[in-house]
Amino acid sequence: MGDEAEDLVQNCLLKAFRAYGGVRDERALKAWFTTILVNCARDRYRRQGRQPVTTPLHEVEEFSLYRQIAEEDPFPYSDSLHLDFLCQFGPEDVWAVLRGLPPTYRLPLVLVHMEDLATKQVARMLQVPLGTLLARLHRGRKLFERSLWDYAVRNGLLKDAAALEATKEALT
């Protein structure tokens, strides 16, 4: 966790501590706390003058990781090609890929698919219409797929795994 993230969490804890008396429904605590954290992050980015990144998406819109893996066939001896591809990624790799995405797309992905929050809830948190949130999720997933492939190629994940597989095959 970087200094900036830790600072944000401290700021969030302070705000949550002050506002805790107003919490009526303890079952909604997670969403309540996450909303404070998201707001703290957004305020900080605004103060720093960071603009939401508008990534040219025409390249990723047509990208299919499923098709890419099938066509490139990085593990010729595998019976479960797509699963084997995902298995090359450790937790650090996955977070490195996620950190590389623009926050506009990373936040919806993390909140919906990793924190298991409902899309309507996340739209309210991020103060965007549901349609905008769904569009960002769609683009975020596309960017994530593309970035997974690029990361695997750049970091030799496919080459090392393929070499290991070929060695195993040769020994049997």
**Given the rule CB under 8 A, which residues bind other proteins?**
1, 6, 9-10, 13-14, 17, 62, 64-67, 70, 82-83, 86, 89, 91, 94-95, 109-110, 112-116, 119, 134, 137-138, 141, 144-145
Distance CA 136, CA 140 (A): 6
HSE (side-chain half, CA atoms, 13 Å) at 137: 21
Token representation of residue 3: 């200094």
Q: At a CB cut-off of 8 Å and minimum separation 6, what does 85 contact?
A: 69, 74, 75, 152, 158
Please state the closest distance from residue 147 (CB atom) to other proteins, in A: 12
Considering beta carbons, is residue 10 or 167 the nearer one to other proteins? 10
Considering beta carbons, is residue 17 or 170 the nearer one to other proteins? 17
Please report, as a single letter, which amino acid is at residue 48. Q
Token representation of residue 118: 């409902």
Considering beta carbons, is residue 83 or 163 the nearer one to other proteins? 83
Please state the closest distance from residue 113 (CB atom) to other proteins, in A: 4
